[in-house]
Amino acid sequence: MIKITEASIEDIAKIQEIVHITWPITYGEILTKEQLDYMLDLIYSDEALSKQIQNKEQLFYMISDADSVIGFIGIEHNYKEKAITKIHKIYLLPQTQGKGYGKIVFGEIGTMALENNSKELLLNVNRFNTALNFYKKLGFEIKETLDTEIGNGYLMEDYVMVKNIQE
């Protein structure tokens, strides 16, 4: 059904294509266009993605169905030297949502996390993001509220969510 493969520098253009489709839909009613553009450049520029992929700051994976690439994830095992896998990024194209792919991808992330001795999955989600309900359905719970200054006077207003995956 879907395949998850490790991403490389050659996948940067596809990652950028996916975020330029998904971000305006996901955050268009939450963030101003100026903040959206600022964050896209900050997080998804060629330079930022190259550094993250080459230095393995995050492990990037491409998500494909039978026909094409439909999304990507960025995760970090042993987050802050704890038995935690942090999900930094997870984006699926809008036309794939509601088909069960997200649940499958989270299952795969859980398997990778267990293989890397993690006991928990951790993610940040914008407090106004509709994905919040999806994460709750998957068993994530809100651990804390976090406001992060990201420059230019912009703030990320997130919930930190956690899910225990110990067997």
pLDDT value of residue 67: 87
Report how far apart, in Å, the C-alpha atoms of 27 and of each of 24, 96, 104 are.
5, 18, 23
Structure tokens belonging to residue 39:
């964050």
Contact status, residue 161 vs residue 135, Cβ threshold 8 Å: yes
- Tell me the per-residue pLDDT of 36-63, one tens digit each, with 9 for 90 and over: 999 999 999 999 999 999 998 899 999 9
* 16 CA to centre of own chain: 13
- Kindly list the domain boundaries of the chain, sorted by start residue: 3-164
Q: What distance in Å separates the CA atoms of residue 143 and residue 120, rounded to the nearest whole number?
A: 12
Q: Measured on CA atoms in the order 120, 45, 148, 142, is the torsion positive or negative?
A: negative
Residue-wise pLDDT tens digits, 57-112: 899 999 999 889 999 999 999 999 999 999 999 999 999 988 999 999 999 999 99
Fold designation for 3-164? Aminopeptidase (3.40.630)
The mean of the pLDDT values for the chain is: 95
pTM listed for this prediction: 0.95
